[in-house]
């Protein structure tokens, strides 16, 4: 069995790391370059950087940040936020990103997934999906979770796979920042219906939640932010506990 991955997520706004609850009420969590170096040394398997307020004008700023982070880490990292073209991805990969994450732009223009995969390969392309339950149905949202769409989670995820994406980063908006655990029922369904890796996001509050999402949710990786940023859980102690629970991780 492939090792399960632990991935700290750095949500970037105006060059700083921030963290909120249910996608709002953001608070400062530190310098992203400094945090990236710490997580790399502590044994994180990957890093994810999401520029949550990205605009075209900030593309240069994000590229500079990617370059500074790449100099500090020796683990793969994924960059997302405001990416809407082959040119955007080219800039980020040339500045040291290993993968890119697209979200709103993929929903608005699904052909973008095909275009990016054709140019850079599936292994570089992560599609992030933010969804929340409305009347019992998981509905995809855009623009940092602010705009509901007509898309349903499982149908969209299947299309994303068919278009060639290498993995899916699924964030449950209902669970985000609550520290009540991941949306394991939805994650297990995604894992059973798809053949590409699923990254669980939204809801990590303690070490048991990670164990649960790997066993009950069948996730391939678990992403979290505040529990790592504010030193509530150490990455090495988390991995040792997971290993003790029989879950394969790189220690």
pLDDT tens across 198-235, in order?
999 999 999 999 999 999 999 999 999 889 988 899 99
Q: Mean pLDDT, the chain, as a whole number?
A: 90
pLDDT tens across 37-83, in order?
989 999 999 999 888 665 455 566 588 889 999 999 999 999 998 89
pTM greater than 0.75 (yes/no)? yes
> How would you write the chain as a 3-class SS string?
CCCEEEEEEEEEECCEEEEEECCEEEEEEECHHHHHHHHHHHCCCCEEEEECCCCHHHHHHHHHHHHHHHCCCCCCEEEECCCCCHHHHHHHHHCCCCEEEECHHHHHCCHHHHHHHHHHCHHHEEEEEEEEEECCEEEEEECCCCEEEEEEHHHHHHHHHHCCCCEEEEEECCCCCCCCCCCHHHHHHHHHHCCCCEEEECCCCCHHHHHHHHHCCCCCEEEECHHHHCCCCCHHHHHHHHHHCCCCECC
Q: What is the pLDDT of residue 15?
A: 62
Domains of the chain: 5-244 (3.20.20.70)
Active-site residues, by number, are 11, 130
């Amino acid at each position: 069995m492939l090792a399960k991955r632990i991935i700290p997520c750095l949500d970037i706004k105006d060059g700083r790391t921030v963290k909120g609850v249910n996608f709002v009420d953001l608070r400062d969590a530190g310098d992203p370059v400094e945090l990236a170096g710490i997580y790399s040394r502590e044994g994180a398997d990957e890093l994810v950087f999401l520029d949550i307020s990205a605009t075209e004008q900030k593309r240069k700023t994000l590229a500079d940040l990617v370059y500074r982070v790449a100099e500090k880490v020796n683990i793969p990292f994924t960059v997302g936020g405001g990416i809407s073209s082959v040119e955007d991805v080219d800039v980020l990969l040339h500045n040291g990103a290993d993968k890119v994450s697209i979200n709103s732009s993929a929903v608005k223009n699904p052909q973008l997934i095909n275009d990016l995969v054709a140019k850079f390969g599936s292994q570089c392309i992560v599609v992030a999906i933010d969804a929340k339950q409305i009347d019992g149905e998981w509905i995809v949202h855009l623009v940092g979770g602010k705009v509901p769409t007509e898309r349903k989670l499982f149908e969209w995820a299947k299309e994303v796979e068919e278009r060639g994406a290498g993995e899916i980063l699924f964030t449950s908006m209902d669970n985000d920042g609550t520290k009540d655990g991941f949306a394991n029922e939805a994650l297990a369904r995604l894992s059973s219906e798809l053949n590409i890796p699923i990254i669980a996001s939204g809801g990590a509050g303690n070490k048991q939640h990670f164990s649960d999402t790997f066993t009950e949710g069948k996730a391939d990786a678990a992403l979290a932010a505040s529990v790592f940023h504010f030193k509530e859980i150490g990455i090495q102690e988390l991995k040792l506990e997971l290993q003790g629970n029989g879950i394969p991780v790189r220690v």
